[in-house]
Structure 1
Amino acid sequence: MALAVASAAVSAASPALADTDCIIREFRTAKGVYQREPVEPTTEFVVEYDRVHAFLRLDCSRADPDRPAFTLRWIASGRVVRTRDLYAGVSPNWRTWDLMPAIVGPGFVQLFDRDGTLLAEEAFTVRLP
């Protein structure tokens, strides 16, 4: 699924208003990230893995490297356990990720744009071995 993202309202008369024009190419949870690629993408985790990774692949022809382009919100056991700003750079294959400790039970990670609009969400479950 690809989503176009603009962090500000843009009219045809003023295209310079947008700080970013990133398209989300991939958003998923995985057991890890190695060499900037997700390792074992899944939504089912065992607590022995320690962490749940969220991986984001973007196609950006315009981005402000000094301002966060996105925010990740991690929710587990019904509470927010971590919030993390993500930055984007100009690249057709910009990759970024974050992680949280594995907490037994259902959880999800949400991706928001700079204005607080929910763009994507991935549910996952962490269980005991």
Structure 2
Amino acid sequence: MLRPAALALSIALAAAALPAAAQDHDCVVRQFATAKNVVNLEPVGIVDGIYPPDTERAYAFARLDCSQVGQGGETFWFHWMHNDREVAKSKARVDISHNWRIWSQSRIFPGDWAVLLKDGEGRLQAEQRFVFTKPDDTAPAN
């Protein structure tokens, strides 16, 4: 029977022996924002909480710092939630970089929204919430 210290060492050595693809990534989300657009891999018109009523699409942008990922990169997922129900999901591949940028877009309609960024293991890495309302079409014009 292994003593606790020997057991811990055995576990640590086994983890170190795993192929790179099976180890966790070390990616850190440096920026996560919702925006009106993404141009040249940069968010344009950052939205803080409320999208303008003339908006048709919302964009989610993430800037990651990764110095270790598995062979072939790491997969991240954008989950678009409308009124607590997932309505869209898109994936993005991430590789080693101190400035890796990924983004996703979705058509939006009135309601409460959240965009979740999860890694390939399903762990939440970042979240942004916003509201989108259309102007009342029945209101009289001034």
- TM-score grouping bracket, smaller chain normalisation: 0.7 to 0.9
Map of 1:5 onto structure 2: none
Question: Which of the pair has more CA radius of gyration?
Answer: 2
Map of 1:118 onto structure 2: 124
Mapped contact 1:28–1:56 kept (Cα < 8 A): yes
Map of 1:44 onto structure 2: 50
Alpha-carbon displacement from aligned partner over 1:81-103 (angstroms, at most 9, x marks no partner): 10111210211100010010021
Map of 2:5 onto structure 1: none
Which of 15, 26, 31 is matched with 2:31 structurally? 26
- 1:115 maps to a residue whose letter is E
Helix, strand or coil at the partner of 1:26:
strand
Alpha-carbon displacement from aligned partner over 1:83-125 (angstroms, at most 9, x marks no partner): 1112102111000100100211111011112111222211011
**Equivalents in 2 of 1:59, 1:12: separation in Å?**
25
- 1:121 maps to a residue whose letter is E
Which of 70, 73, 82 is matched with 1:76 structurally? 82
Map of 1:86 onto structure 2: 92
Give the length in aligned residue pairs: 119
Greater strand share, 1 or 2? 1
Mapped contact 1:46–1:126 kept (Cα < 8 A): yes
Mapped contact 2:67–2:98 kept (Cα < 8 A): yes
Mapped contact 2:73–2:95 kept (Cα < 8 A): no
Map of 1:8 onto structure 2: none
For structure 2, list consecutive stretches of 5 or more residues without a partner in the other structure: 1-10, 136-142
Alpha-carbon displacement from aligned partner over 1:23-74 (angstroms, at most 9, x marks no partner): 1101111111111111111131134221110000011122347455211110
Greater helix share, 1 or 2? 2
Q: For residues 57-76 of structure 1, what are the structure 2 equivalents within 5 Å?
A: 57-64=63-70, 66=72, 68-76=74-82
- 2:34 maps to a residue whose letter is T
- 1:99 maps to a residue whose letter is Q
- 1:23 and 1:12, CA in 2 relative to 1: closer, same or farther beyond 3 A? farther
- 1:65 and 1:33, CA in 2 relative to 1: closer, same or farther beyond 3 A? farther
TM-score normalised by L of structure 1: 0.80
Map of 1:95 onto structure 2: 101
